Structure 1
Amino acid sequence: MHTLFQTDSEIPQSKRIVFLGDSITDNGLYIALMEAYFLHHLPQQGLTFINLGVSSETASGLSEAAHPWPRPCVHDRLERALRESRPDWLVLCYGMNDGIYQPFSEERFHAYREGMLRALRLGKQTAEKVIVLTPPPYDHRSKQLHPDYAGEAAAGAETDKGFSWKSPDPGYNGVLRRYANWVLTLADGQEADAAINIHDPLAKDLEELRNDNPDYIYGDGIHPNARGHWIIAKTLLSRLFHVTLERMPDYAADPDAASWFPAVLERHRLLGAAWKEHVGHTNPNKAEEALPLADALVRADALRERILGAAAFGSDAAIPADLKTSDWNGYRRYDFYVGGREAIVVEPKRPASGKPWIWRAEFFDAFAYADRALLEQGWHIAYCRLSHMYGCPAAVRSMESFRKCVTGVFGLAPRMSLFGFSRGGLYAVNYAAAYPQHVSALYLDAPVLDICSWPGGKGAGSGSPAQWEECLAVYGLTEEKAAKEHALKALSHAGKLAAADIPVLLIAGDADTVVPYDENGERFERLYREAEGRIQVIVKPGIGHHPHSLENPEPIVQFIRSHPF
């Protein structure tokens, strides 16, 4: 794995990101959803998304006998596409058509591998970064149920010309799974800067939906529906830009749910058609409505201004954008965004005097025994999703923006009790060290307090290599520098927090092999006591990293209630 994340998880400015792919990319909804995110929440980033997807295209140059014309191949246009679009980042997504819907064949697999490697090598000569996506899954059940293809899918190999996009081999997803596994190896060498798995997130989402509805239709089995495009979009937002989202926006399924989103789609399709025909391709179906590229760019600029004028943007002092309410265990829950990050506030039925609140730094609703007990007693719960940022300085700045928002909009107390579970310990301690005046108490549970311990795995724990790479990237560190930069370890803040007289409750298991207690919590306790800080410790004999918290949360509740403001 190679991470694209930059120091402080900084989202790159003014990048041209070019997408090449088949009809799934040509449809482009997943790209439009990413554009919508940035236009709505972070328009200042100035990212340019160029969709050069072409329906029916392959990287292998193969076609099934039943296809009405030879499938277009990306290599027919790749050099011109790169020359004209001048990508900073190039994203490639092929594979669905490359097995030509037949049972697995080593010969076809070889053609796919060679076609992809050739495209990646050429991309490397032009783009700063080359990113390759796995093919998405094929779902035969959806093909059987889809009204446009049900009869042909059932016929399968009985058709005159064998399997095709209309009637794929029922086991075709196994072919795509093998292709996806190979794609994921490309970032281990020099072929790609990142390989992103969209196959598994789509398959997992489909499995969960099928558990509730066995007849759920995932597009036509080949082309994802709107929900599938959202899964691709949020996967790419996470892997390309370090933005973790869970909520599917209403406009992803219903473009009219947001007044400005139809204009995003119009702009995306306008530019996609113009770019595709400007570059040229060998699919006989041309975009007859395409404008000359120069004219399309002018119209797209006007649409962008219209979108920005129509979209509502949240701020620290105003009602957050996209504020939604729902029920959470019998309590009112508010969902919104702060600085493009998902945020949650849960409101008690009767707020306690002064509106005290607890802030989950990570893992909202996990082992939430104390959270719910305090909610019942009138405390608000708050959370901002900053996952995979490991408490880096940018995460701390985003946390402060969130605090300003919720204290302003919801009238919460100026100081809060901050909960740091597992890696949330990095966020909680680093925030408290930067803004001690806003923290009334810290509750740390099996906390990560030394990045070399976890995710680095440089001590007794196994660590997590992929997350260690991410962590080093967001802190701007090498492994060697990480071992020496004690100022970046949350442990080093113990003296500062003690001097600020922030009381700490620390709960951990002494058999934790993931985040070893003696490398994290125990060391923090020793440093805190040496600095004459106030700290209570509950060590759970024989307990590992899980379960967190206490099933009887009364000791936690008493500690938090004794330090409300």
Structure 2
Amino acid sequence: MNRIYIVFLLCLGFAVEGHGEGHPSEPPFPIRDAKRILFLGNSITYAGHYVTLFESFLITAFPSSEIETINLGLPSETVSGLSEDGHAEGAFVRPWLFSRLDNVTERIKPDVVIACYGMNDGIYQPFSESNFQRYKEGMVSLYAKLKAAEVKRVVFITPSVHEDPILGLKGYNLVLNRYAQWLIDQRTERNWEVIDIHFPMQDYLTAKKTLEPDFKLAEDGIHPGLEGHRLIAEYIIPYFDDKFASKDFLSACLDNTSYYAHLYKLLEERQEIVKNAWLTYTGHNRPGLPVGLPLDKAKKESIRIQNKIQKLQKTSIKRSNYEISDHHLFTPLTTH
């Protein structure tokens, strides 16, 4: 059932056909200068593996940086305000980003926002022009509201792939193809920054299935596992630094023995604490999520883990067996 809300366009305060929101003559705000980077999205972002991999990259590129990477992905969320009949067995309708967005931006005050929406916005139905229009309106409004909140840089990510148990990539994924392509087109239509993960993930999945017909990136067709999150990070990181050896780096993060694997685990622990604390503090209407620590206690936990990270960084410099930790594989960051 579609959520009913009054005077949708007026409440959001945007012109859907407006152009020129971006300013290509102005260089993007350097990621190295950010104080807070906010990730928004649905359950895939909430799972957080690609966010933690991205933060691992930031700390590697800027070992003395104090950039905060905050994950506020929310399971089931949409930008379209739509919810299918019987969602969550009728327990609740899908949460709508705009019911919490103002509170999030006011309390977090991010410099950079990286947002990934689309998977839930077609509400797992065949392509509908009206549903598509609601997605487009939601994305345009999101950009406008973030810029009005003085966010210095807004970067969108296309939705990941959907693997139908019977139709494979020829089911709901065809809807996501339309959504992803529209978002990519906004690079020229509206001068938006858009990172495409959808079509590269689709190509990767197709290639893997030629060798392993039963291969899946997402066991349930929706939520990619760690390999899928690694792929997402593999396309996000080079967007901000195309000289960074992201494949070597990500392999090191996930091999369970390297310095970077230890770093990743510490960041994963911190991300979980900080995510739930901020979600609770900023508020949301999605039932079933853990109640986070109060922010002051979460900050103490974050400092505790940061001390471990700093100790790990110092130790890695001294240990010759952690050759990758000397950063010889990675060039200094050059902002994109």
**TM class, shorter-length:** 0.7 to 0.9
Q: 1:297 aligns with which of 299, 310, 318?
A: 299
1:234 aligns with 2:234: yes
Tell me the residue number matched to 1:110: 133
Match of 2:199 in 1: 200
User: What CA distance in whole angstroms lies between the structure 2 residues aligned with 1:200 and 1:49?
Assistant: 26
In 2, distance between residues paired with 1:6 and 1:124? 13
Does 2:104 match 1:81?
yes
TM-fit CA distance, 1:27 = 0.7
Aligned-residue CA RMSD in angstroms?
A: 3.1
**Structure 2 gap segments, 5+ residues each:** 1-21
Change (3 A) 1:320 1:235: farther
Give the letter aligned to residue 267 of structure 2. V
CA-to-aligned-CA distance 1:356-412 (integer Å, 9 cap, x gap): xxxxxxxxxxxxxxxxxxxxxxxxxxxxxx6xxxxxxx79xxxxxxxxxxxxxxxxx
1:309 Cα deviation from its structure 2 partner: 1.1
Asked whether the 8 Å contact 1:206–1:218 carries over to 2, the reply is yes
Structure with more of its chain in strand, by fraction: 1
Q: Is the 8 Å Cα contact of residues 137 and 199 (structure 1) preserved in structure 2?
A: yes
Looking at structure 2, the residues matched to 320 and 131 of structure 1 have their Cα atoms a distance apart, in angstroms, of 37
1:91 to 84, 89, 114: 114
Partners in 1 of 2:316 and 2:267 — Cα distance? 19
Structure 2 residue identity aligned to 1:268: Q
> Does the aligned pair in 2 maintain the 1:4–1:239 contact within 8 Å?
no
Secondary structure of the equivalent of 1:195? strand
Q: What SS does the aligned partner of 1:61 have?
A: coil
Counterpart residue number, 2:9: none
Aligned residues: 306
- Aligned-residue sequence identity (percent) comes to 31
Q: Secondary structure, in 3 states, of the residue corresponding to 2:73? A: coil
Structure 1 distance, partners of 2:139, 2:61, is 34
Higher alpha-carbon Rg: 1
Aligned equivalents of 1:84, 1:302: Cα separation in 2:
23
Change (3 A) 1:203 1:4: farther
**Higher relative contact order (Cα pairs below 8 Å, separated by 6+ residues):** 2
Structure 1 pair 200–312 and aligned structure 2 pair: CA distance change class (3 A) = farther
Q: TM-score, normalised by structure 1?
A: 0.50
Aligned 8 A contact 2:163 2:169 in 1: no
In the alignment, which residue of structure 2 is the partner of 1:222? 222
1:298 aligned partner, one-letter code: K
The TM-score with structure 2 as length reference comes to: 0.81
Q: Offset at 1:40? A: 4.4
Report the counterpart of residue 6 of structure 2 in structure 1: none
Between Structure 1 and Structure 2, which shows a larger proportion of helix residues? 2
TM superposition shift of 1:35:
1.4
Secondary structure of the residue that 2:74 maps to in structure 1?
coil
| 1:43 aligned onto 2:43 | no
Q: Which residue of 2 aligns with 1:186?
A: 186
Contact 2:53 2:264 in 1 (8 A): no
Distance in 1, matches of 2:239 and 2:163, equals: 25
Matches within 5 A, 1:31-430: 31-40=51-60, 42-68=62-88, 69-126=92-149, 127-140=151-164, 144=165, 171-190=171-190, 192=192, 194-219=193-218, 220-242=220-242, 243-247=244-248, 248-252=250-254, 258-288=261-291, 290-311=292-313, 319=320, 321=322, 323=323, 336=324, 339=327, 341-342=329-330
CA contact (8 A) 1:18 1:50 kept: yes
Structure 1's unaligned 5+ residue stretches are 145-153, 157-167, 324-335, 343-385, 387-393, 396-469, 475-565
The CA deviation at 1:231 is: 1.3
Q: C-alpha displacement at 1:217, in angstroms?
A: 2.0
SS in 2 for 1:283: coil
Change (3 A) 1:300 1:226: same
